[in-house]
Structure 1
Amino acid sequence: MITQLTVQELAALMKHAAGVTVDANDLERRPDSAFNDLGLDSLGLLGIVGELENRHGRALPPDAERCKTPREFLALVNTTLMAGA
């Protein structure tokens, strides 16, 4: 089974792991918005990376916590998940 992280799941993770509420539709419309502009700092992104690593039982690349936008993060995470499928 191939698992991909969706924009909706990312929005839910932002709320759950970082306490940042963002509308999934807004993320979808503006995937190149900086995480900082959305209220997500590097510590919050680290929490999301940790949550995903726990869910999928594998480490994400170190670059994951340095991603600046939702598009960049989703591409990196999904490429990693697809490679391990």
Structure 2
Amino acid sequence: MKQLELSELTALLRECAGEDEGVDLDGDVLDIPFTDLGYDSLAMLQTTGRIERDYEVTLDEAIDGAGTPRAYLDAVNRALAAREAA
């Protein structure tokens, strides 16, 4: 089963919304809120749309409450696992 990894998420964030010069996305960012990383709701919407398209998965409203990379990855990977199980 394919899972979204942190390195893939940070690459997508950079592609979809750029990167704040003061933030090191290669560091330990799993539990840092997206807003502290410089990503607003529009950036997350763009990233989510890209993941839905690239991974052929529908992400429900649970993704809206995912305020950190860890929570976001958990939500995406749950959706990917559910798709595989169907």
**Aligned mates of 1:19, 1:45 — CA distance in 2:** 11
Distance 1:24 1:37 in 2: 11
Please report the RMSD computed on the Cα atoms of aligned residues, expressed in angstroms. Answer: 1.5
**Residue 26 of structure 2 corresponds to which residue in structure 1?**
25
Equivalent position SS for 2:26 = helix
**Amino acid in the other structure paired with 1:25:** D
Structure 1, unmatched stretches of 5+, are: none
After TM superposition, the score normalised by the length of structure 2 is 0.84
Query: Is the aligned partner of 1:77 residue 2:76?
Result: yes
Query: Which protein is bigger by CA-based radius of gyration?
Result: 2
Could you list the structure 1 runs, at least 4 aligned residues long, displaced by more than 2 angstroms after superposition: 20-25
Structure 2 portions without partners, runs of 5+: none
* Seq. identity, %: 37
Aligned residues: 82
Greater fraction of residues in helix: 1
TM-score by length of 1: 0.85
Opposite residue 44 of structure 1, the aligned amino acid is A
Equivalence for 1:53: 52
Q: Which amino acid aligns with 1:14?
A: L
